[in-house]
Amino acid sequence: MMAVYEATATAPVNIACIKYWGKRDTKLILPVNSSLSVTLNQDDLCATTTARADLAFERDRLWLNNKEEEIKAGGRLATCIAGMRSLRREFEKTDNSLPKIAEYHVHIASKNNFPTAAGLASSAAGFAALVSALAQLYKLPTTPSELSIIARQGSGSACRSLFGGYVAWEMGTKDDGSDSRAVQVAGREHWPEIHALICVVSDIKKGTSSTSGMQRTVETSPLLQHRTSNIVPERMTAISKAIKERDFPTFAQLTMADSNQFHAVCLDTEPPIFYMNDVSRAIIATIVEYNRAAVAAGGEVKAAYTYDAGPNAVIYTLKENVKEIIELVSHYLPHAVPFKDAYGLFAGTQPVGR
């Protein structure tokens, strides 16, 4: 009987606290600043990808949510597949008994377990799952950090979904991108009390893609230069420390400040980019007031909002406040009730792809 070469892997969505915005190399996807995110629970929001290699396949093919996507020559999908194939080729050279499956074409099928209506960027989970499935198919002895270098070339933020828990993407300094990779700052088990509430404000596709938005910001925003040189390096150190010390108020303040600055940089772009809408801003006001009241009552900051390239809010909070915040958002902003499936999301699970 012929051997079957097939593997399946999953990878969760991640939501950045310190945002990645801007590329210094658009082909290799090298960022202008480091970033840090929390990987969400594997069971709630993830991509599942199956990859199969077969001598009988005539070309590489890929299906996303049952629809075939074109693998354009030189495009991001092709780059990731080629990167993984070349790792397999190197691996085959180290051991003659390994079947020469790097020469076979692959068929890849990927599905998201969350509705597109959630308006969540699925490319991060998608490219991380793609790279993980190929790593398993090829039985590569690679670490998640090594795989993150290839996932990064699919979608920058995908590199952080190779790990669970709290993950930094170190921007690196080398021109070939070999040190621009993800590292785990802390596992989920280090601080499992953190929850992420996803508030779906709109499921309309964003007007400016992250790729074109970033390019415009890099070309036109004077504020971006200040952010990358003077702000983000200190924030990366401070938020890593807050995570290690499980210091929620500091974590929350840095997360909100960085979301604000990312959107300020978008506004500083020519022509300006607006990702948030009035409901997004009303959620900000609600969380600000919630935190003000908590501090006025002698307590501490209890929640942090953050927004990516769209109007939907993610609210980070500790488990004990989840119910209260859902009630608050449901009461004041009935149109932005936290997405049902996201209730009780924990920060990530295990590293994937191994």
Strands (DSSP E) contained in 217-325 are: 303-307, 313-318
Nearer to ligand PMV (CB atom), residue 140 or residue 156: 156
Of 15, 48, 119, nearest to 346 by C-alpha is 15
Q: What is the DSSP letter of 142?
A: -
CA angle 68, 70, 75 (to 5 degrees): 140
Which residues bind to ligand PMV, rule: CB under 6 A?
Answer: 16, 19-21, 35, 121, 123, 155-157, 210-211, 308-309
* Dihedral-angle region of residue 69 (phi above 0 means left; psi in -120 to 50 means alpha; beta otherwise): beta
Nearer to ligand PMV (CB atom), residue 49 or residue 208: 208
Q: Give the shortest CB-173-to-ligand PMV separation in angstroms.
A: 19
Q: Give the shortest CB-210-to-ligand PMV separation in angstroms.
A: 4
Residue reference for tokens 């209260």: 324
Q: Exposed, middle or buried: residue 203 (CB in 10 Å: 0-12, 13-18, 19+)?
A: middle
Task: In whole angstroms, give the CA distance from residue 178 to residue 28.
Answer: 10
Nearer to ligand PMV (CB atom), residue 84 or residue 125: 125
Q: Give the shortest CB-127-to-ligand PMV separation in angstroms.
A: 9
Q: Give the shortest CB-105-to-ligand PMV separation in angstroms.
A: 27
Q: Give the shortest CB-287-to-ligand PMV separation in angstroms.
A: 19
Nearer to ligand PMV (CB atom), residue 16 or residue 328: 16
Q: Over the Cα atoms of the chain, what is R_g?
A: 20
Question: Do the beta carbons of residue 183 and residue 168 sit within 8 Å?
Answer: yes
Question: Do the beta carbons of residue 37 and residue 14 sit within 8 Å?
Answer: yes
DSSP H helices in 138-277? 144-151, 210-220, 222-226, 232-244, 248-267
Q: Give the shortest CB-213-to-ligand PMV separation in angstroms.
A: 8
Nearer to ligand PMV (CB atom), residue 15 or residue 242: 15
Nearer to ligand PMV (CB atom), residue 154 or residue 187: 154
* Dihedral-angle region of residue 39 (phi above 0 means left; psi in -120 to 50 means alpha; beta otherwise): beta
Q: Give the shortest CB-75-to-ligand PMV separation in angstroms.
A: 14
Task: In whole angstroms, give the CA distance from residue 8 to residue 34.
Answer: 30
Nearer to ligand PMV (CB atom), residue 20 or residue 138: 20
